[in-house]
Amino acid sequence: MDGNILGLGLPIGLGIAALGSGLGLGKAVEGGMNAMGRQPEAISQIQVAMIIGCAFIEALTIYAFVAVIMLMGKV
C-alpha cells in the first residue's frame, strides 16, 4: 500500500515543485525587468542580482528532482 501512495505522490510532488519554481522565476524576472525599466543606469547590478536569485530558485527544483530520483528506488 505504501508503495502505491509513494508512486503516485512522487510525480505529483515534482509537478508542484516545478510549478512553484516556474511561478517564482516569473515573478523574479518580472521584478527585475520592472526595476531595469525604472533605473536603466543600474541594469548591470539588477541583472546580476536577478540571475543569482533565479539560480537559487532553480536549485530548489533540482533538489526536488534529485529527491524524487532517490525515492524511485523505494517504489
CB 28 within 8 A of CB 55: no
C-alpha torsion sign, points 25, 27, 28, 29: positive
Q: 7 pLDDT band (50/70/90 cuts)?
A: confident
pLDDT digits (tens, 9 = 90+) for 15-42: 999 999 999 999 999 999 999 999 999 9
The grid cell for 30 is 518580472
**CA–CA dist 62, 51 (Å, integer):** 16
| pLDDT of 2 | 57
Q: How many CB atoms lie within 10 A of CB 64?
A: 19
- Res. 71: pLDDT tops 70: yes
CB 22 within 8 A of CB 58: no
| Homologous superfamily assigned to 2-72 | F1F0 ATP synthase subunit C (1.20.20.10)
